[in-house]
Structure 1
Amino acid sequence: MNPLLGAEQAVLGSVLLDPGQLSHLDWLAPDHFYRPVHQALFAALRKLRDDGHPALAGEKSVPLSWVTDAVAEASLHVRGLTATYAHTLISVCPRPAHAPVYGRMVLEGAIHRSITEHAIRLNQAARTDALQGGVEGALHHADVLAEVLSDLAQRWGTEPRPVAPAAPPATAPVAPQPFRADRGAEDERFLLAVLVEQPKAMDEVVGWLRPADFADPAHGQLYRCLGALHHRGEPIDRITLLWEAQRRGLLTDGTLSGDQLTAICDGVGPGSAEWLGESVMRSSVTRTAATSARTIRAWAEDEALAPGRLINHALHALGPLDEVRTRWQTANGHPAPTPTAPVPSPNGPPPAQVQAALARSTPRPAAQPPEHPGPALKPSAARSPSRIHG
C-alpha cells in the first residue's frame, strides 16, 4: 500500500471511529488530502462537528448516523463515495488514538506536493515573462509561494526562516533557454558598447545593475571591468577596458578575446544606458525566478527531506530573487519590497503554531518510581528486558 494513501485512510477511519479526534486535527485542512473523495469526507466531518452533531455528545458508543451523515454530506461535493467505503476506512485504521500521527503524515505529503506545484507555476510564469519581456507574473507567483511556505510552516509547527542547505539538490532540472535569449544577448552587448562610448552613463546603472545580471558570463566580466574603472575614477574607452580585462586574466583564461571586445565596441550608435540596463534587469529577474523555482522543486521532490527543512530551504532559495527584485524596483523608482521570510514574533510563535507542534509530538509520561524501593540490582541484572535473550 502507498504510505500516503494509508495515512489518509487512517485519519478518516480514526475520526469515523472517534469523533473527538477532530479536536486534535485543527491544523489539518481538507485540501491537505490528495484524493478528492478524502478531501470531501474530511470537510464533511468537520462541518458535522461545527454543526453540533449528536455523535459529539460524549457517549461511549458512536451512533451510526455519524458515518451515514458524513457520507451524505460529502456526497454533495464529490461522486463515488459510498457507505461501504466509509466502513473500509474504519477497518483499515489500526488505532484511532493515533490520529494526530496519521494527520502528520498527511500534512507532510501535502507540504511536499504543494511546494512542488507552486514551484512549477513559478517556473512557468518566469518562462512566460521571459518570452514576453515582463516580470509581473514571476514576481506574483514568487509572493504566492512565499505565503504558502509561511502557512505550511505554521501548520507544521515550525518557525519559517531561510536556512542554507548543506549541499545543493542532487537533481535539479535544467530548462532550455527561452526564445528571447538572442535578443537578451544583443541588449547586453549594446549596453556595454554604450557604456564604453558614453562613460558618464555608468552613473545611470551602477547603483542597481550587477555583473551577475548578465546572462552571458563574459558580458558580466566586462561590466565588472567597467565598474572597476568607474570606481577608481579612471578614464573609460576601449583601450583602458582591454587593459583592465587583461589585468584580470580574462584574455588568458579564455573568457574573452580581443576580437570579441572589439566587436562589442565597434559600430555602436546612440542608445540609452538606463533603458538597456532595465532590459538586462528584466531578464535577470525572470532567469533568477526560474532558477529558484527549479531548485525548490528539486528539494520538494526529495521525499526523504523533512518538511521543516524543506520549507526553510525553499525560503532560502527565494532569497536571490528577493535581492534582484529589490534592485529592479530601485531601477524603476519603486520602494523596496517586504522581506519574503516573516520576522519572528518577539512574543514567541503564535498559539496555533504551538498547538500544531504539540499535536504532532506528545511527550511520553515519565516513569513513576516504585513505592517501596528494593535492594540495588546487580549490574548483570540491570539490563533492559529487550537485551535479554532466552
Structure 2
Amino acid sequence: MSPLLEAEQAVLGAVLLDPGQLRQLGWLTPEHFHRPVHQALFAAVRKLHADRHPASTAESAVPLSWVTDAVAEAGLHVRGLSASYAHSLASACPRPGHAPVYGRMVLEGAIHRSITAHAIRLHQAARADALQGDVEGALRCADVLRDVLNDLARRWGTEPRPVDPGAPPAPGSAAAPPPGWAKAAEEERVLLGVLAERPKGMDEVVGWLRPDDFADPARGEVYRCLDALHHRGEPIDRITLLWEAQRRGLLADGTLSSDQLAALCGGVGPGSAEWLGEQVLRSSVTRTAAASARSIRALAEDEALAPGRLINHALHALGPLNEVRTRWQSANGHPPPTPPAPSPNGPPPARVHAARARSAPRPVSPPVSRPGVAPSPAAVRPPSRGHS
C-alpha cells in the first residue's frame, strides 16, 4: 500500500473517530483525495458536520450513527462503500489528533497530481494549436494552470513566486517533433530571405521578434546578424551579412556556411515581413508552451519535490511562455494584461490559516472511544494524588 493511500485512510479514520477534527481540516476538500470512494466519504462527513449532526457536538463517545449516516450519505454518490470499510478506516488511523498532518500528506499528493494533469492539458493544447495555426487554446490552458498554482499555494500556505530550480528536470522521454514543423521551417526561411533582400522590413518586426523565436538555431543566428546590422545602421546585403556571420564565428564553428547565406539572399519572391514574422512568432508561442508543459510535468512527477518548491518551480517554468506571449500581444496590437497588485496587508487570511493548521502544535487530545463504545472506567479515573 502506498503512503498516500495510507494517509487518505488515516484522515478519514480520524474524522470518523473524532468529528471535531474536521474543524482543523477546512483547507482540505474532497477533490484532494485520489480514490473516488474516499472523495465521497469525506464530502459526506463534511456535509453532516455542517448540518450539525449530533456526533459533531458529542462530548463523550461518538455515536454509531455518525458512521452509518456518513456511509449512507456517501453511498448516494459512489458505489461499493460499506459500513465494514468505514470501520476499517477507523482502525487504520494511528492517532486521530494527527489528522492535520495526515491531511497535509493528502494535499501534497493532490498538488502533484493536479499540476501533472494541467501540464498534460497545456501540452495537448499547444500541439493542437500548432496544427490549427492558433495560440488561444494554449494560452487559455496556461492561464488555468497559473490560477491552479496560485490556489494550491494558498492552500499549502506558501507565497507563490517563480523560483529557478537550477538544473532543468530531465524529461521522461524525448520530445516529439512539433506539429507543422515543416511549414514553420519554410516560413522562417522565407522571412529571412525577405529581410535580407528588403532590409526595410526589419522595422516591421524588430520590436517583437527575437532570434530564439526561430525553431532552427542556425536561422535564429542569421536573424541575429540581421538585427545587429540593422541596429548599427549598416547596409544589409549578401556581403555584409556574410561578414557579420564571420565576425560572430558562425562560419568557423560550422553553424552556417556561405552557401546557406547565399541561398537566403537570392530568389525570394514578394512577401510581407510583418505577416511572416507573426507566423514565426505564433509557432514560437506554441513551441514554448509545449516546452513549459514538459518541464512542469517532469517537476510534478518528482515525488521527492516538496509542494512549495514544486509550485514555485512550475511558475518559473511558465516564465518563457509569459515573455513570448507578451511579444505576441504586442505584435497584434493587444497590450499585456496588468498583473494584480500585491495585497498591502500581507498574505490572505485563508493561507495563514492553512499554514497554521498544518504546523501549529496541538494539545494532546484524550483517547477517543470507538463509535458506539463507552469509555472504560480506567479512562476517566482521575490521577492518583499519592505520588509525588
**Fold agreement, TM-score > 0.5:** yes
SS in 2 for 1:100: helix
Q: Does the aligned pair in 2 maintain the 1:27–1:356 contact within 8 Å?
A: yes
| 1:107 aligns to 2:74 (yes or no) | no
| 1:320 aligns to 2:320 (yes or no) | yes
Q: Which residue of 2 aligns with 1:79?
A: 79
Aligned residues: 363
Deviations 1:6-59 (A, max 9, x none): 000000000000000000000001000000000011011111111111111232
Q: Which consecutive unaligned segments of at least 5 residues does structure 1 have?
A: 366-390
Q: Which residue of 1 aligns with 2:202?
A: 202
Q: Which amino acid aligns with 1:239?
A: I
Q: Does the aligned pair in 1 maintain the 2:329–2:335 contact within 8 Å?
A: yes
Q: Which residue of 2 aligns with 1:353?
A: 351
Q: Which residue of 1 aligns with 2:217?
A: 217
Q: Which amino acid aligns with 1:160?
A: P
SS in 2 for 1:80: coil
Give the deviation of 1:169 after TM superposition: 1.1
CA distance in structure 2 between the aligned counterparts of 1:107 and 1:9, rounded to whole angstroms: 13
Percentage of pairs with the same residue: 79
CA distance in structure 2 between the aligned counterparts of 1:337 and 1:237, rounded to whole angstroms: 39
Q: Which consecutive unaligned segments of at least 5 residues does structure 2 have?
A: 364-388
CA distance in structure 2 between the aligned counterparts of 1:174 and 1:207, rounded to whole angstroms: 33
Q: Does the aligned pair in 2 maintain the 1:172–1:295 contact within 8 Å?
A: no
Q: Which residue of 2 aligns with 1:227?
A: 227
Q: Does the aligned pair in 2 maintain the 1:11–1:93 contact within 8 Å?
A: yes
Q: Which residue of 2 aligns with 1:290?
A: 290
Q: Which residue of 2 aligns with 1:372?
A: none
Once the two structures are superposed, the pairs formed by residues 1-390 of structure 1 within 5 Å of their partners are: 1-339=1-339, 344-363=342-361
SS in 1 for 2:322: helix
CA distance in structure 2 between the aligned counterparts of 1:38 and 1:179, rounded to whole angstroms: 40
Q: Which amino acid aligns with 1:64?
A: L
CA distance in structure 1 between the aligned counterparts of 2:64 and 2:138, rounded to whole angstroms: 51
Q: Which amino acid aligns with 1:37?
A: V
SS in 2 for 1:49: helix
Q: Does the aligned pair in 2 maintain the 1:191–1:273 contact within 8 Å?
A: yes
Q: Which amino acid aligns with 2:41?
A: L
Q: Which amino acid aligns with 2:186?
A: E
Deviations 1:213-241 (A, max 9, x none): 00000110010001011111111111111
SS in 2 for 1:358: helix
Q: Which amino acid aligns with 2:359?
A: S
Q: Which residue of 1 aligns with 2:373?
A: none
Give the deviation of 1:195 after TM superposition: 0.6
Q: Does the aligned pair in 1 maintain the 2:127–2:179 contact within 8 Å?
A: no
Q: Which amino acid aligns with 1:44?
A: A
Q: Does the aligned pair in 1 maintain the 2:40–2:74 contact within 8 Å?
A: yes
Q: Which amino acid aligns with 1:345?
A: S
CA distance in structure 2 between the aligned counterparts of 1:145 and 1:320, rounded to whole angstroms: 15
> C-alpha root-mean-square deviation of aligned residues, in Å?
1.2
CA distance in structure 1 between the aligned counterparts of 2:217 and 2:39, rounded to whole angstroms: 49
TM-score by length of 1: 0.91
Q: Does the aligned pair in 1 maintain the 2:196–2:264 contact within 8 Å?
A: no
Give the deviation of 1:166 after TM superposition: 2.6
Give the deviation of 1:131 after TM superposition: 1.3
Q: 1:64 to 1:43 in 2, by over 3 A?
A: same
Q: Which sits farther off after the overlay, 87-96 or 343-352?
A: 343-352
Q: Does the aligned pair in 2 maintain the 1:213–1:281 contact within 8 Å?
A: yes
SS in 2 for 1:311: helix
Q: Which amino acid aligns with 1:281?
A: L
Q: Which sits farther off after the overlay, 163-172 or 29-38?
A: 163-172
Give the deviation of 1:305 after TM superposition: 0.4
Q: Which amino acid aligns with 1:165?
A: P
Give the deviation of 1:364 after TM superposition: 7.3
Q: 1:294 to 1:82 in 2, by over 3 A?
A: same
CA distance in structure 1 between the aligned counterparts of 2:60 and 2:237, rounded to whole angstroms: 89
Give the deviation of 1:172 after TM superposition: 4.8
Q: Which amino acid aligns with 1:361?
A: S
Deviations 1:242-294 (A, max 9, x none): 11111111111000001111112221010000100000001100110011100
Q: Does the aligned pair in 1 maintain the 2:41–2:74 contact within 8 Å?
A: yes
Q: Which amino acid aligns with 1:32?
A: H
> Whose relative contact order is higher, 1 or 2, with alpha carbons under 8 Å and at least 6 apart?
2
Q: Which amino acid aligns with 1:3?
A: P
Give the deviation of 1:337 after TM superposition: 2.8
Q: Which residue of 2 aligns with 1:380?
A: none
TM-score by length of 2: 0.92
Give the deviation of 1:336 after TM superposition: 0.7
Q: Which sits farther off after the overlay, 293-302 or 260-269?
A: 260-269
Q: Which amino acid aligns with 1:189?
A: R
Q: Does the aligned pair in 2 maintain the 1:245–1:251 contact within 8 Å?
A: yes
CA distance in structure 2 between the aligned counterparts of 1:35 and 1:62, rounded to whole angstroms: 26
Give the deviation of 1:343 after TM superposition: 5.3
Q: Does the aligned pair in 2 maintain the 1:326–1:336 contact within 8 Å?
A: yes
Q: Does the aligned pair in 1 maintain the 2:134–2:282 contact within 8 Å?
A: yes
